[in-house]
Amino acid sequence: MNLLLDEIARATARLAEAGAASPRADAEELAAAVHGVSRSELHKVPDGAFDARFWEYVARREAGEPLQHITGRAFFRYLELKVGPGVFVPRPETEVMVGWVLETLRDMDVRDPLVVDLGTGSAAIALSIALEAPRARVHAVEKDPAAFVHATRNIEELDERGRVRLHLDDFATALAELNGTVDLVVSNPPYIPMSEWEHVPPDVRDHDPADALWGGGDDGLDAIRAVERTARRLLRPGGHVAVEHSDLQGNGVYWIFAEENGWRDVRNRRDLTNRDRFVTARLTAD
Among the listed residues 76, 148, 188, 257, the single catalytic one is 188
Active site residue 189: yes
Q: Rounded CA gap, 119 and 215, in Å?
A: 12
Q: Is 180 exposed, middle or buried (0-12, 13-18, 19+ CB in 10 A)?
A: exposed
Among the listed residues 54, 88, 148, 171, the single catalytic one is 88
Contact 26, 67 (CB under 8 A): yes
Helices (DSSP H) in 90-242: which residue ranges? 92-107, 124-132, 145-158, 202-205, 222-234
Distances (CA, A) of 151 to 124, 131, 196, 209, 262: 8, 15, 28, 14, 32
Among the listed residues 189, 190, 193, 257, the single catalytic one is 189
Q: Indicate the pairing of strand 164-168 with strand 137-142.
A: parallel
Q: Indicate the pairing of strand 235-244 with strand 164-168.
A: unpaired
Q: Which among 119, 122, 30, 53 has a CA at the least distance from the CA of 85?
A: 122
Neighbours of 3 (CB within 10 A): 13
Active site residue 237: no
The residues carrying an active-site annotation are 88, 188-189
